[in-house]
C-alpha cells in the first residue's frame, strides 16, 4: 500500500474514532450536574472559534478585510431580520465585488 493510501486509511480511522468517542463512551452515563452549564456553553464557544479561525487562518495568515466586510454585511442583514440564505448571498456578492474592484 502506498504512503498516500495508508495515510487516507489511518486519517479515516482517527477521524471516525474522534467522532465516535463521546457518543460511545458517555452516551449511557449520567454526567455530574455541574457539566450541564459547560455543555450548554460549548455551542457559542466553538461557533465563535470556528468563525474566528476560518477568518484568520493559521497564525492570522489568511486575514482579508474584504472577507471581513462580507461577513459583517451577512451578520448585519441577519440581525435586521433578513432570511439566512439572502444574508449569506449578500456577503458573497459584497466580498466578490470588493475583490474585483480593489
Residues between 49 and 88 that touch other proteins (CB under 8 A): 49-60, 67, 70-71, 74-75, 78-79, 84-85, 87-88
Where in 16-55 is the site for other proteins (CB under 8 A)?
16, 18-29, 31, 33-34, 36-55
The DSSP-derived string for the chain is --HHHHHHHHHHHHHHHHHHHHHHHHTTS---TTHHHHHHHHHHHHHHHHHHHHHH-GGGTT--HHHHHHHHHHHHHHHTT--HHHHHHHHHHHHHHHHHH-
Q: How far is the CB of 70 from other proteins (least distance, A)?
A: 4
Q: How far is the CB of 26 from other proteins (least distance, A)?
A: 4
Asked if 11 interacts with other proteins (CB under 8 A), we say yes
Amino acid at each position: 500500500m502506498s504512503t498516500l493510501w495508508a495515510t487516507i486509511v489511518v486519517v479515516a480511522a482517527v477521524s471516525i474514532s474522534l467522532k465516535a468517542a463521546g457518543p460511545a463512551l458517555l452516551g449511557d452515563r449520567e454526567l455530574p450536574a455541574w457539566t450541564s452549564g459547560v455543555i450548554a456553553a460549548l455551542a457559542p464557544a466553538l461557533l465563535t472559534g470556528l468563525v474566528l479561525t476560518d477568518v484568520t487562518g493559521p497564525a492570522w495568515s489568511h486575514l482579508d478585510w474584504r472577507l471581513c466586510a462580507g461577513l459583517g454585511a451577512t451578520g448585519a442583514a441577519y440581525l435586521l431580520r433578513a432570511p439566512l440564505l439572502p444574508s449569506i448571498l449578500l456577503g458573497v456578492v459584497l466580498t466578490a465585488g470588493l475583490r474585483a474592484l480593489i
